[in-house]
Structure 1
Amino acid sequence: MFKSLTDNLNSVFQKLRRKSILSEDDFNASIRQIRVALLEADVSLEVAKNFTEEIKNEVIGKKIIKGISPAQMIIKIVQDHLVKILGSEKSELNIIGKSPVVIMLVGLQGAGKTTTAAKLALKLKKNKKVMLASLDIYRPAAQKQLEMLGKQINISTLPIIQEEKPKDITIRALKTAKSEGYEILILDTAGRMHLDLDMMDELKVIKELSSPQEILLVADSMTGQDAINIAKNFNDSIALTGIIFTRVDGDARGGAILSMKMATNCPIKFLGYGEKLNDLEDFYPERIAKRILDMGDVVSLVERATEIAGQEEIDKLQKKVQKGKFDLNDLASQLKTLSKMGGMASIMKFIPSIGSLKQQMNNSLFNDNDVKKYIAIINSMTKKERMNPEILNGSRRLRIAKGAGLKVSDINFLIKQYNKMSALVSGFSKHNKIKDHDIAKLLNKKY
């Protein structure tokens, strides 16, 4: 997501960076190009216009700070305004109150409400006792789908009673959650293919019966220009408290996020970025603004890696790296973590200035489709070979290739990549030792 917007904004900024002095014509042209970039990313015309007008008003008359180029100043102002639109600070779920605290999910059919309900339940399960209830009696097998998802993540779902109306399901869900000591009750409401009065009337009744502390709009990030109307209609009818965007890992242009946020002034709570039930990340406005501007998001990347690999595994690898040790067992472990994180393509968006380096990286790094192949190669080695790759002569490589059902050239490529990473680790270790030695000298120096 955001690729189109990121690429187009980068194109504008690259032109600005070439200029030491910015004329009025240059500035106006840049503002027009920023507006076009927003529109091409499916940001609504109203939002794009307001965004660029605010930037223009802030830049005009502003003094250029010595040592800061016009391009740097404009990029900083654009970043600040993106953060302002997206919400300035992370918005936490309001789940403090008398049990059961009700979270009501709403949205159009096909936006991913049911899967998101399960993802949210799994996220909250770490600290709370959660129950799921499906109120969708219209979409075939919708209630059964939520029941199956609940079983996958070991979370209770309200038993299904055929022919029961949404109103009665809501009353029964509240009664069951209260009597069985559930702290959180997530209501998965029915969607429609389009907005209609019957849908809104039903949601109003559910809201009145359940008194939810959170009413979250689950929205497909690929919605496009219609996003602003969808958000306004839901917000005007039932007063949303937040938004969850789904399919952010797809080909969405990202405009729906900016449009819906400005249209409703509701905080964005989460982003759903994959099919797995743990693929739901907290929404940090500043981090997303940096991703849009190709500044990377290393903090989120580290958090995801730690969550998947485990802090103990991260600490173990860090100690080995600090000592300059990195063998093929470590490489296999990192490849497995990379695969669980969605592969190289999935993490590239977190790396600063990846736009200009992506092609170079694609030519030199492991291909996502080949990760399993390289893990199989390492598994075909002996313990001694994995710990001491330098002993891998021609005959050993031939044996490993036969064992993995691959070519010797595949083994050669893997070892070549390993040697590059090993050299990097070794260099890092030496750099740290030099620093430590210098610090020790300073501490022991007599003045």
Structure 2
Amino acid sequence: MFDDLQKRLSSAFGQFRARGLLTEANIKDGLREVRTALLEADVNLQVVKEFMEKVGERAVGQQLIKSVRPEQQIVKVVHDELIELMGPVDPSIRFEKTGPTIIMLCGLQGSGKTTTCGKLARLLASQGRKPLLVAADLQRPAAIEQLKVIGQQLQVPVFSEPSSNPVKVCQDALAEANRQACDTIILDTAGRLHVDDELMAELKQIEKKVKPHQVFFVCDALTGQDAVASAGSFNEALELDGVIITKLDGDARGGAALSVRKVTGVPVKFVGMGEKLDKLQPFDPERIVGQMLGMGDIVGLVEAAQSVVDQEEAQKQQEKLAKGKFDLNDFRQQITQMKKMGSVRDLMGKIPGLNQMPVNLDEIDADGEVQRIQGIIDSMTPEERRNPNLIDISRRRRISAGAGVDPSDISALVKQFDAMAAFVKQMSQMTMLDKIRAMSGLGRAGAFNPGARLMAPKQGTGKRLTPKEREKQRKQREKEERKKRRDERGKEG
């Protein structure tokens, strides 16, 4: 997420690092790089102008602290101003005290509006609300069926009827909500490929007749300034109460997230961070800016872990690790838990400093590597997992055949695991102060980081070998081994 913007801003901040001391002249030169980075990220031009004026004023007037490097102080200024640019934040929804609360979602076709209706319904249901989904998109083929499928997955009721009038559908949904004792109605309205009079007239009629209490615009992050311009048009016609940004996890630039609040004056309520129905979260500028600046998202990482980790099992693992015990069964269990937390690449992006490590994430199929490691461990016997030292040449060949990998991959995994197990044992014998000192060095060295070591590209290649290349190497090694054995037998004779 925000990979392009993060790289450009890191390059811009590097200008300050190279200059050493900050002066008014080199601050302006460096901030010019920041300005270019934001424009290339598709941030609205007027937003960039106002933002850079504020950053420039604060940076030039900044009192330098000797213990803090100059570029770090500039990063702090940019960090604070970016948060202010996207705020103030209000992810709450005002619910009516009597009768159902009506929420209308609108937006252009393809923005993920129907899926967002389902995500919002799931979120509200988890908070104790009883939502009703209303299929009022009568323009897009299969929109009604899609919403029904989502409703079945969530076990949330969906209202639809064979009508060509979306206003009537929304009106009839009110009676259905009362009949089913639903306290929240979510209207999935129609979209178009562009803003047009017909679309706006239809939405205005729904607003006039049904009187929704909240109107949210669903904004596709990947369309950048086009999405922001559309949000402005919808706001003029409907007076939006909030914006939901979708597909933010796939946004490399961040232009929509940085522009929409300033351009429309409407707060961002929620962000979609994936296709699954549980991937809707309240908008938090501090976490977003942290990822834009390469600071990671520890809060998001902890939340993801808490949502999937079995606390009882985690306690058993902790007790085992405290005794210095750690085998491949434990490692496989950790991998399984990590996969439940989402994309490995996304998790890597949330770890502060990982992007600074000498591992090119663009060259790593992180999720594929996790699956490969899991396949290797699954191909071992229970005894081999408990004691990897048993794995000799013949066992390596058997395991590699079962996992569909090269025997050298088995050796590499065992070596890396031995290092991890030794570290776990060493940590179990340390005092708390020693542990803190040891852990503080891990981020820099990456010595025992599975993401950095186990999933790193093979040395000298810059990329993972294809199955054909691995097979070719395997045959070449077997040929060399046969020749070596023949030579040894010849010497003995």
Both structures adopt the same fold (TM-score exceeding 0.5): yes
Taking a change above 3 Å as real, the CA distance of residues 164 and 424 of structure 1, as seen in their structure-2 partners, is: farther
Secondary structure of the residue aligned to 1:222 is helix
Taking a change above 3 Å as real, the CA distance of residues 278 and 420 of structure 1, as seen in their structure-2 partners, is: farther
> Per-residue displacement from partner, 1:412-445 (whole Å, max 9, x unpaired)?
2322332233234334333346769xxxxxxxxx
Distance of 1:424 and 1:210 partners within structure 2:
63
Secondary structure of the residue aligned to 2:430 is helix
Which structure 1 segments of 5+ residues have no match? 437-447
Q: Which amino acid aligns with 1:82?
A: L
Are 1:149 and 2:150 an aligned pair?
yes
> What residue in structure 1 maps to residue 176 of structure 2?
176
> What residue in structure 2 maps to residue 259 of structure 1?
259
> Per-residue displacement from partner, 1:143-169 (whole Å, max 9, x unpaired)?
1111112112222111x3223411111
Farther-moved stretch of structure 1 (106-115 vs 375-384): 375-384
Which structure 2 segments of 5+ residues have no match? 436-493
Secondary structure of the residue aligned to 1:249 is helix
Native 8 Å contact 1:328 1:387 kept in 2:
yes
Distance of 1:432 and 1:93 partners within structure 2:
48
Native 8 Å contact 2:400 2:406 kept in 1:
yes
Are 1:333 and 2:337 an aligned pair?
no
Question: What's the CA shift for 1:288?
Answer: 0.8
> What residue in structure 2 maps to residue 309 of structure 1?
309
> What residue in structure 2 maps to residue 282 of structure 1?
282
Secondary structure of the residue aligned to 1:359 is coil
> What residue in structure 1 maps to residue 131 of structure 2?
130
Q: Report sequence identity in percent.
A: 41
Distance of 1:90 and 1:180 partners within structure 2:
30
Taking a change above 3 Å as real, the CA distance of residues 392 and 99 of structure 1, as seen in their structure-2 partners, is: farther
| Equivalent residue runs for 1:420-431 within 5 Å | 420-431=419-430
Taking a change above 3 Å as real, the CA distance of residues 356 and 394 of structure 1, as seen in their structure-2 partners, is: same
Native 8 Å contact 1:130 1:183 kept in 2:
yes
Distance of 1:366 and 1:222 partners within structure 2:
22
Question: What's the CA shift for 1:39?
Answer: 0.5
> What residue in structure 2 maps to residue 393 of structure 1?
392
Taking a change above 3 Å as real, the CA distance of residues 164 and 227 of structure 1, as seen in their structure-2 partners, is: closer
Secondary structure of the residue aligned to 2:288 is helix
Distance of 2:314 and 2:212 partners within structure 1:
39
- TM-score under structure 2 length normalisation: 0.81
Question: What's the CA shift for 1:71?
Answer: 2.0
Native 8 Å contact 2:5 2:252 kept in 1:
no
> What residue in structure 1 maps to residue 15 of structure 2?
15
Q: Which amino acid aligns with 1:154?
A: Q
Taking a change above 3 Å as real, the CA distance of residues 84 and 335 of structure 1, as seen in their structure-2 partners, is: same
Native 8 Å contact 2:91 2:270 kept in 1:
no
Q: Which amino acid aligns with 2:380?
A: M
Question: What's the CA shift for 1:225?
Answer: 2.5
Native 8 Å contact 1:326 1:422 kept in 2:
yes
Question: What's the CA shift for 1:302?
Answer: 1.7
> What residue in structure 2 maps to residue 414 of structure 1?
413
Q: Which amino acid aligns with 1:73?
A: Q
> What residue in structure 2 maps to residue 47 of structure 1?
47
Distance of 1:240 and 1:310 partners within structure 2:
41
Q: Which amino acid aligns with 1:7?
A: K
Question: What's the CA shift for 1:275?
Answer: 2.1
Distance of 1:399 and 1:63 partners within structure 2:
65
> Per-residue displacement from partner, 1:40-79 (whole Å, max 9, x unpaired)?
0000100000100111122233322343333222211111
> What residue in structure 1 maps to residue 248 of structure 2?
248
Secondary structure of the residue aligned to 2:19 is coil
Which of structures 1 and 2 has the bigger CA Rg?
A: 2
Native 8 Å contact 1:89 1:286 kept in 2:
no
Are 1:107 and 2:102 an aligned pair?
no
Taking a change above 3 Å as real, the CA distance of residues 335 and 96 of structure 1, as seen in their structure-2 partners, is: farther
Question: What's the CA shift for 1:394?
Answer: 3.3
Q: How many residues align?
A: 434
Distance of 1:433 and 1:74 partners within structure 2:
35
> What residue in structure 2 maps to residue 229 of structure 1?
229
Distance of 2:36 and 2:334 partners within structure 1:
41
Distance of 2:371 and 2:394 partners within structure 1:
23
Q: Which amino acid aligns with 2:119?
A: K
Farther-moved stretch of structure 1 (319-328 vs 224-233): 319-328
Taking a change above 3 Å as real, the CA distance of residues 141 and 386 of structure 1, as seen in their structure-2 partners, is: same
Taking a change above 3 Å as real, the CA distance of residues 367 and 252 of structure 1, as seen in their structure-2 partners, is: closer
Distance of 1:391 and 1:434 partners within structure 2:
36
Secondary structure of the residue aligned to 2:144 is helix
Q: Which amino acid aligns with 2:218?
A: V
> What residue in structure 1 maps to residue 74 of structure 2?
74
Secondary structure of the residue aligned to 2:357 is helix
Native 8 Å contact 1:378 1:386 kept in 2:
yes
Farther-moved stretch of structure 1 (393-402 vs 172-181): 393-402
Native 8 Å contact 2:134 2:188 kept in 1:
yes
- TM-score under structure 1 length normalisation: 0.89
Native 8 Å contact 1:90 1:285 kept in 2:
no
Question: What's the CA shift for 1:6?
Answer: 1.1
> What residue in structure 2 maps to residue 189 of structure 1?
189
Q: Which amino acid aligns with 2:329?
A: N
> What residue in structure 1 maps to residue 490 of structure 2?
none
RMSD value over aligned CA atoms? 2.4
Q: Which amino acid aligns with 1:97?
A: K
Distance of 1:12 and 1:186 partners within structure 2:
44
Q: Which amino acid aligns with 1:343?
A: S
Distance of 1:304 and 1:415 partners within structure 2:
29
> What residue in structure 2 maps to residue 349 of structure 1?
349
Secondary structure of the residue aligned to 2:429 is helix
Native 8 Å contact 1:227 1:259 kept in 2:
no
Secondary structure of the residue aligned to 1:67 is coil
